Every structure is written in structure tokens, then in C-alpha cells.
Amino acid sequence: MIIVMKRGASARELAAVVGRVEEQGYRVRISHGEEHTTIGVIGDGRPLEREEIERMAGVERASPILQPFKLASREFHPRDTIVVVNGVPIGGRQLVVMAGPCAVENREQLLKAARAVKQAGGHFLRGGAFKPRTSPYSFQGLGEEGLQILAAAREETGLAVVTEVMEPQMVPLVASHADILQIGARNMQNYALLHAVGEAQRPVLLKRGMKSTIEELLMAAEYILSHNNDRVILCERGIRTFEPYTRNTLDISAVPLLKQLSHLPVVVDPSHGTGRRELVEPVSRAAVAAGADGLIIEVHPYPEEALSDGEQSLEPAHFAELMEGLRPVAEAVGRLL
């Protein structure tokens, strides 16, 4: 249920309503809007009479949230959420581009990539230190050393860092180096991990599982939000279909659909979404045209030598061209880049 307080309702009236709801065994999330304070009622308590709540002093209206995801829904939070990271707003008019290699391989590789991202106008540096690889024999990432290299690149370029965390126990370590915690597609329904990042003091980039529905993605976001972290960014990165020419099938309709169902920012990953370097640029343009708030793109100084995802990684010059080509599309849909 969502309870909208009257304009000018007092703190005491708000406390009385919260008290009544909590008495029934629910938890609340309070959102202070410009005009109204809204109480989101979550959890599984005893029946709550809408009429009774509406009779309480200071209450304008109470209505059930029909979606299974509550805090993630537009009904709970009608306006777009803007997640500000290191002064960069994600989810507002400004389009954000996160770019960098699939994996941090060494200092020289990462710094070259970071400088190229910065020079082309990217806003965040991506790079995996802990890599979820299909094969146990593939490069698994540099681990903590990779995090230190990312932090050094941030120091030099000023770019904030987004990197994946794969286990709940590793959240404090990764959060101590990263600006945004990435939950990879393979872990979208790892509930212990969602719980742990919900308790972390860092924004979360939540990638759609490769066989997950949009509702499952939003329910995964709900886990993070309900554990008190309201800085969640959704990421469409393609889903598995029968089509073998692309690594995944990027679900472009997920972008406007997620924006309709939820207030959370939506970022698109055209690199994993296609798996093919030559498709990254046109699909990036499509994502921006469809209303994405940002992109996450793999860039490597020498893609042919990459230890992971070289086939979908762009060289720096190609990335710079992509950025230039995005500007008119961003402008056409009223975004800044």
C-alpha cells in the first residue's frame, strides 16, 4: 500500500500513521516529495484497512500497489530517481557512459583504457577484478590487485569506477574501492548477494539475468531497495534466445517498459547484448533513442589481445567515434551528452 499524506501534514500525523502501519507488522519507506510525503508500506503484515488509514489525520489517500515490486514501482515513486555518483547524475537529462575493459588485466592496459574513456567524454570507468567466467580455466580476474589498479585509474583520471562483486563476503572489500557495485547477470537472483549490497553504502548496477523476465529483474531490485539501499540502476544486457548470430538478444523494448514500470535509471549494455564489436555502435544509438539513461561499453586498448570478451570490445578510436555519433541521437531525444 502507498499512503500519500496531505500537503502540510505534521510530523506528528506522519508518526501516527507510521505507528499504526508498523503495529500491523509492516515496514515503511518514507519518501519526501516536493508537495507530498509518501509512505510505502512493505512486508507481510496483518490486513490493513484502507478506509481506516484514510480516516487518519493528515492522510490524503491510501491505495494498494498492484505490482509485486513495490519500492521499485512508479506507483510508489512517480518521479524518476536520479542516482548521483561522484557528482554525476544517473537518470536525469544527462546521458551517462560507462566504459572500459571487460577485465582489469594489468596496470598499463587499464590506464590506457581509462585515459581513452576520459578523453572521449565517458563518465565512468568499468572493469572487472572478479570475473564470473563460464570456464574455470579462463582468466578469473586479478582480484584485490585489480581493485587497486581501478582505484589508481580513478585517481589519475577522476573517473568513478564500476566493478562487479560476486560474493556477499566480498562486498565490503569491493565497496572500499568501487563507486558503483555491479551485480552480474549470473548473480541477479543471488539473494544473499542482493541482501549484502542492499546494506552497502554504494549504488548498485543490477544487470538483468540472461534468462530473466523484466518482472524478475524488478523483483531483484526490490531485494536491494527493501534492504535500505535506494540507489539502484537497472541494466538491460540481452537475454538468451534461439538466435546464434549474436551472443544475446538485446531486448530494446525493456528500456521504455522498465521506465514505465519503475522510477529507477536504466542503462544498456550493447557489448554483452550483442557480443559483436560492429554491432555495438548502432545498438548504442538505438538504446539512447529508446530512452536509456546510459550505456556500459567494453573498450580495450588492444582488443585482439584481451583476456576476456575481446570480440565485443572497441578500440579507443572506435569508442571515440561512437561517442561522437551518439551526440545527435541524444540531442534528438532531449538528452545531453
Residues within the interface to ligand PEP (CB under 6 A) = 102, 128, 132, 184-186, 207, 237, 269, 272
Using the minimum distance from each CB to ligand PEP, give the nearer residue, 94 or 140: 140
| Residue among 201, 207, 147 nearest 183 (CA) | 207
Using the minimum distance from each CB to Mn ion, give the nearer residue, 112 or 139: 139
Q: Supply the minimum distance, in Å, between the C-beta of residue 128 and Mn ion.
A: 7
d(CA 70, CA 41): 8
Using the minimum distance from each CB to ligand PEP, give the nearer residue, 126 or 335: 126
Using the minimum distance from each CB to ligand PEP, give the nearer residue, 207 or 285: 207
Q: Supply the minimum distance, in Å, between the C-beta of residue 185 and ligand PEP.
A: 4
Instruction: Tell me if 2 contacts Mn ion by CB under 5 A.
Output: no
The closest residue (CB) to ligand PEP is 184
d(CA 10, CA 26): 22
**Amino acid identity, position 129:** A
309, 313, 318, 320: residue in contact with Mn ion (rule CB under 5 A):
309
d(CA 288, CA 300): 22
Helix or strand run (H / E) with residue 271 = helix 270-274
End-to-end CA separation in angstroms for the chain: 38
Q: Which residues of 62-92 are buried (b: 16+ CB within 10 A; e: fewer)?
A: beebebebbbbbbbbbeebbebebeebebbb
Instruction: Tell me if 102 contacts Mn ion by CB under 5 A.
Output: yes
Residue indicated by cell numbers 524478475: 216
Q: Supply the minimum distance, in Å, between the C-beta of residue 272 and ligand PEP.
A: 4
Q: Supply the minimum distance, in Å, between the C-beta of residue 133 and ligand PEP.
A: 8
Using the minimum distance from each CB to Mn ion, give the nearer residue, 135 or 260: 135
Instruction: Tell me if 104 contacts Mn ion by CB under 5 A.
Output: no
